[in-house]
Amino acid sequence: MASRTSPFDLSTCARPNILKLQPYRCARDDYKDDGTNILLDANENAYGPGLALNEQGALQESTVTGTSTGSSKPEIDLLGLNRYPDPHQVELKKLFCKLRNTHTHTQKVLGPENLFCGVGSDEAIDALLRCFCAPGKDKILTCPPTYGMYGVSAQVNDIEIVKVPLDVDNGFQLQPEKINETLAADPSIKMVYICSPGNPTASLIKKSDIQKVLEHPTWNGVVIVDEAYIDFAPEGSSLAEWVNDWPNLVVMQTLSKAFGLAGIRLGVAFTSPPIATLLNSLKAPYNISSPTSALATAALSPTNTAVMRKYRDQIIAQRERLVQELPKIPGVGRFLGGQEANFLLVELLDKPATEGGKASNVTALATYEAMAEKRGVVVRFRGKEYGCEGCLRITVGTEQEVTRFLQELRGVLQAILAGEDV
């Protein structure tokens, strides 16, 4: 059969900004999970879901809410999957509010009217762009090094990105004066994205620095604080309830990290009721599936939040262990950033620190590849990001995984620095 001809030309039919798009690179793009690797690359909760499960991996009956029919029988109603899910998720939103109404930052109370629920935080990132930025006209401001999806979503929406880097010499903290100068000079910047604790920096951004941006005297825009890792930071760190004091503040959170539920894709944005109304108006009507809603509701019950906190405490203990043990390995340099997440950003050197070693992308990349390909331990190379020369980002695993990681890293670094085969 002769090949068909068509006037179709993808290069002129598709939007130019999409043709130029560089997609977000996931942690699993380089090394897939074959069931044998130790995965310390994606900042997942290695201890598993923050749910009380029986030996078969099913939810214990006492942790599950009743069915939507009003029955007191503790089960998730799978027979209801022929119906569209709840478009408003009011009961789920009440549980998120209960979790974050700590009265640490304000005496005002969060309610369902303050929330947007999305398919992970990524939907909230995209929804905010579509809500406030005109394609090809408006801009956003980011603070590298930071989470890559802010840039990808902006590019998809044809939104220009203005960058004011974090202060590398001050633990990757915000530079509010420089941000405010940039905002004053360019009114087309509609949003500022701040990651706290930062990814890949693990630094908790100072509340006072965020407040300086919120107090800008002339800028008409929105400040978004991404708190994906907030439950690994000290108690009271979340600024979620603070949205009641600032009409242009949005605080994003997720169940993917501390709650160990990355697979259900559930994120939320706390904000003022007027902004929440806009976000809820532009979303797809049934964006949160019934199984996702049921599992999220179960996760936020007292029994399961206790499980989450138990796993979180174990992760923090292993994080402290890494902080103590990693510097003892020749070839490991400084911890950059902070220690308020479930990962650490660590320099690798071209020779031991005692011999004057300096941060080295060559060492870090060789270590990253050797660990994954020959030792079955996957971390993440971050050396190409701003201020992260020679750095690996290491997710905190279980006690057994951390033991294995430390053993393998010592052996790999010893061989690389000696110029031997790994």
Domain ranges of the chain: 18-49+306-416, 84-304
In the chain, the N- to C-terminal Cα span, in Å, equals: 54
**92-136 pLDDT tens trace:** 999 999 999 999 999 999 999 999 999 999 999 999 998 888 899
**217-275 pLDDT tens trace:** 999 999 999 999 999 999 999 999 999 999 999 999 999 999 999 999 999 999 999 99
Up-side HSE of residue 88: CA atoms within 13 Å toward CB?
Answer: 7
The tokens for 271 are: 């904000």
Q: Is the previous residue joined to 302 through a cis bond, with omega within 30 degrees of 0? A: no
| Residue in the block written with tokens 């059969």 | 1
Instruction: Answer with the residue of higher pLDDT: 137 or 65.
Output: 137
- So what's the pLDDT on residue 41? 73
3-class secondary structure, 245: coil
d(CA 269, CA 216): 22
The tokens for 239 are: 């600024």
Instruction: Answer with the residue of higher pLDDT: 163 or 70.
Output: 163
- So what's the pLDDT on residue 112? 97
- So what's the pLDDT on residue 52? 75
d(CA 195, CA 9): 39
Q: Is the pLDDT of residue 352 over 60?
A: yes
Q: Are 59 and 52 in contact (CB under 8 A)?
A: yes
Q: In the predicted model, what is the mean pLDDT of residues 141-166? A: 95
- So what's the pLDDT on residue 183? 95
Cα separation values, 67 from 84, 86, 260, Å:
15, 13, 24
Q: Is the pLDDT of residue 83 over 60?
A: yes
List the one residue out of 337, 253, 293, 276 whose CA is nearest residue 85: 293
Share of the chain above pLDDT 70, in %: 83
Q: In the predicted model, what is the mean pLDDT of residues 323-348? A: 97
d(CA 161, CA 379): 28
3-class secondary structure, 301: coil
- So what's the pLDDT on residue 69? 37
3-class secondary structure, 59: strand
Q: Is the pLDDT of residue 26 over 70?
A: no
Quickly state the pLDDT bin for 40 (edges 50, 70, 90): confident
Name residues whose C-beta falls within 8 Å of residue 383's C-beta, 6 or more positions apart in sequence: 361, 364, 365, 389, 390, 391, 392
3-class secondary structure, 194: strand
Task: Find residue 140's DSSP bridge partners.
Answer: 161, 191
Angle formed by the axes of helices 399-417 and 361-375, nearest 10° = 120
Q: Are 143 and 165 in contact (CB under 8 A)?
A: yes
- So what's the pLDDT on residue 189? 94
Lowest mean pLDDT among 3-12, 93-102, 297-306, 406-415: 3-12
d(CA 125, CA 118): 9
Lowest mean pLDDT among 24-33, 177-186, 287-296, 369-378: 24-33
DSSP state of 57: S
d(CA 296, CA 26): 24
The tokens for 244 are: 């009641």
Which amino acid, one-letter code, is at 209? D
Find the angle CA(120)-CA(384)-CA(157) to the nearest 5 degrees.
Answer: 40
Burial-class residue 131 by CB neighbours within 10 Å (0-12, 13-18, 19+): middle
Q: Are 345 and 166 in contact (CB under 8 A)?
A: no
Q: Is the pLDDT of residue 55 over 90?
A: no
pTM of the model: 0.86
Q: In the predicted model, what is the mean pLDDT of residues 23-52? A: 65
Which fold, 84-304? Answer: Aspartate Aminotransferase; domain 2 (3.40.640)
pLDDT, the chain, mean: 88
Burial-class residue 162 by CB neighbours within 10 Å (0-12, 13-18, 19+): middle
Q: Is the pLDDT of residue 34 over 70?
A: no
The tokens for 260 are: 């160990």
Q: Are 200 and 25 in contact (CB under 8 A)?
A: no
In CATH, the number for domain 18-49+306-416 is 3.90.1150.10
d(CA 274, CA 271): 8
- So what's the pLDDT on residue 287? 93
3-class secondary structure, 251: strand
The tokens for 333 are: 């340099």
d(CA 211, CA 220): 15
